[in-house]
Structure 1
Amino acid sequence: MKKLILASGSPRRKELLEQVNLTFEIIVSDIEEVMNEKDTPANIVQSLAQQKAKDVFSKNKDCVVIGADTIVAIGDRRLGKPKSKEEAVEMLQLLSGNTHSVFTGVAIETLEKSITFYEETKVMFWNLTKKDIDTYIQSGEPFDKAGAYGIQGFGAMLVKKIDGDYFNVVGLPISRTIRELSRFQ
């Protein structure tokens, strides 16, 4: 297979690709992300993943490039990474006792072909107390994660159950990604 590039600076995506013994390089896309706010979360994450993959691929035409993007959605609201403690608290209060969806879009680009897909996982939170939220905020974990939590870390204590791919919630549906990559050999 050609050299593989991950067009993401996410440490979680890096860990997931390492977990399945892939050899790859990281080149973070620096494009300004453009999205249609009226679009569905599934279409938004696929579009953003594709923008990142195409940007990195445009400078690495002899490689296989993976781009990815994740959004947390509850009802009509889309939750990105919180910009402040107050925004993190608000997000966690919104998720408390409710079920939300985590969408991750993945794009794979080569000279010969490209594919884009997404996965959706439903996540149900426990009813969180003020102390639960304050303790979690104090951990510092919420600030670089969509929806203000990381299921793979201390944030696991917030989650009552999931329906779908656990790794999708972490940031990359790794099993599906590997299967799609196999079509590029």
Structure 2
Amino acid sequence: MPDFVYLASQSPRRRQLLDQLGVRYLLLLPNEGDDQREDAEAIEEVLPGELPLDYVRRVTGLKLDAAVARLARRGLAQAPILCSDTTVAMGRRIYGKPVDAQDARRMLSELSGNEHCVLTAVALQAGDARLAALSESRVRFAPMTQAQIDAYVESGEPMGKAGAYGIQGPVAQYVSNLNGSYTGIMGLPLYETAQLLRAAGVIAI
């Protein structure tokens, strides 16, 4: 078994969390050329009536499928491939990555003063075996003023993040309660990820 994994994610937070586990990894990311067939926006599109739990599991599986095909196309050495996806939800409503600043303001205004759910699905392809896990956390935001929301959005941090926020950034000052996995909310739940890596023989103990 190789002593590394491929990480199919552009998120610097997921790289940081794998470093925290002491797991060696190589990035397996789309590039220009033959990988243009991979349409990330299409993968992340919510299906009509789709529940948040079903959505995050499906998207993670599709991202892993794309990474497995990418590895084969490039003729790279075989090693486990790790993939993860995070979504924010209130009830049945899914909060993905904001399309612009106005969308980020809308999301944060709706999350302000309310409790929401953060779901992070993790999947690992190890040979013919596919292992999967799910982390579910609940986060409550204190009420935020419009000025506070505007200042956070203007910082640029909400862009590219599910629910328009990153728990590890300044928005943490508005988190009045958190129940679940902090690393799961960041994007890679370390407990669940370590379990998968241990089952695949990447982590020995």
Report the TM-score when normalising by structure 2: 0.85
Alignment of 1:23-172 (within 5 A): 23-29=24-30, 31-32=38-39, 33=43, 36-60=47-71, 62-172=78-188
Q: Distance in 2 between matches of 1:47 and 1:162?
A: 25
Q: Distance in 2 between matches of 1:105 and 1:65?
A: 14
Q: Distance in 2 between matches of 1:112 and 1:143?
A: 36
Which residue identity is paired with 2:49? K
Which residue identity is paired with 1:155? V
8 Å Cα contact 1:64-1:109 kept in structure 2:
yes
8 Å Cα contact 1:105-1:119 kept in structure 2:
yes
Change (3 A) 1:59 1:145: closer
8 Å Cα contact 2:51-2:92 kept in structure 1:
no
Which secondary structure does the structure 2 equivalent of 1:81 belong to? coil
Q: Deviations along 1:102-126, whole A, 9 cap, x unmatched?
A: 1111111021311122111000000
Q: Distance in 2 between matches of 1:105 and 1:73?
A: 14
Q: Distance in 2 between matches of 1:181 and 1:43?
A: 23
**Greater C-alpha Rg:** 2
Residue equivalent to 1:12: 13
Which residue identity is paired with 1:102? V
8 Å Cα contact 1:4-1:24 kept in structure 2:
yes
Which secondary structure does the structure 2 equivalent of 1:87 belong to? helix
Q: 1:35 Cα shift?
A: 5.1
8 Å Cα contact 2:83-2:122 kept in structure 1:
yes
Which secondary structure does the structure 1 equivalent of 2:71 belong to? coil
Q: 1:28 Cα shift?
A: 2.0
Q: Give identity over the alignment, percent.
A: 35
Q: Distance in 2 between matches of 1:138 and 1:93?
A: 14
| Structure 2 runs not aligned, ≥5 long | 73-77
Q: Distance in 1 between matches of 2:65 and 2:91?
A: 30
Which secondary structure does the structure 1 equivalent of 2:121 belong to? strand
Q: 1:27 Cα shift?
A: 1.1
Report the TM-score when normalising by structure 1: 0.93
Which secondary structure does the structure 1 equivalent of 2:123 belong to? strand
- When structure 1 is superposed on structure 2, of 112-121 and 95-104 the one drifting more is 112-121
Q: Distance in 2 between matches of 1:35 and 1:74?
A: 15
Q: 1:59 Cα shift?
A: 3.9
